[in-house]
Amino acid sequence: MFVFEYIDAWVLSYFTKFSHWFQRMTGRTNFFLAKVFIFAYVISILVGALNYWFQMLNHPTPRFGPVIKFAIVLFWMWYISRDKNLQDEHLQGKQTKNPNELFFFLRVPLLIANLIDLQLQAPIFFGGKNVSLIDLFCYLEPLYFILFMYFDSVTPLPPGKSKVREWIEAYQAGFKKLQPIKSPNR
């Protein structure tokens, strides 16, 4: 288990650095990034399920694919609602450590399984046919899941003003100085 802890800590440190940089620049936390990737994951699952009835992709969807994918979507909808409560607690200052950071024993095996899944699906998705953007989007489904798991596990910085907001306020302050003085009514 020591190897899994080391791998997880190493990968999580890179996600933490990127998340903190992103939060300082934009004011958006790691929860925003996690939501972006879980949204992409859910959309790719729905496209895969719709592919069962309407052939949109270069490969067929398995018979039980729509049922399994619908169950996965329901689970992630529940998980996101739970995550919203964690984000609210952090923004109110009630919580300083992200409890999802402790689930390293789930992240590393899922990371490995999803990377293997990407390797196994490559011949199915790219097997001698023209690849559309929808195919590529659905092929990256396991990657969206990995990105979600790690961004969701980062402990965000305390709330503060972003660099972009500071730039905009400085820009607006400069315009206020340049505005002409209003002359009195004559």
Q: What is the pLDDT along the chain (186 residues), one digit of tens a residue?
A: 577 778 888 888 999 999 999 999 898 888 889 889 988 888 888 887 787 788 877 777 767 666 776 776 677 667 666 666 666 666 666 655 565 555 555 667 777 777 777 776 666 666 666 777 777 777 788 888 888 888 888 888 877 778 887 888 777 776 666 556 666 665
Q: What is the pLDDT, as a whole number, of residue 156?
A: 83
Tell me how crowded residue 94 is: count the other CB atoms within 10 A of its CB.
9
Contact 79, 103 (CB under 8 A): no
Structure tokens at 35: 């939501």
Give the integer Cα–Cα distance in Å for 76 and 41: 10
Q: What is the pLDDT, as a whole number, of residue 16?
A: 92
Give the integer Cα–Cα distance in Å for 4 and 108: 6
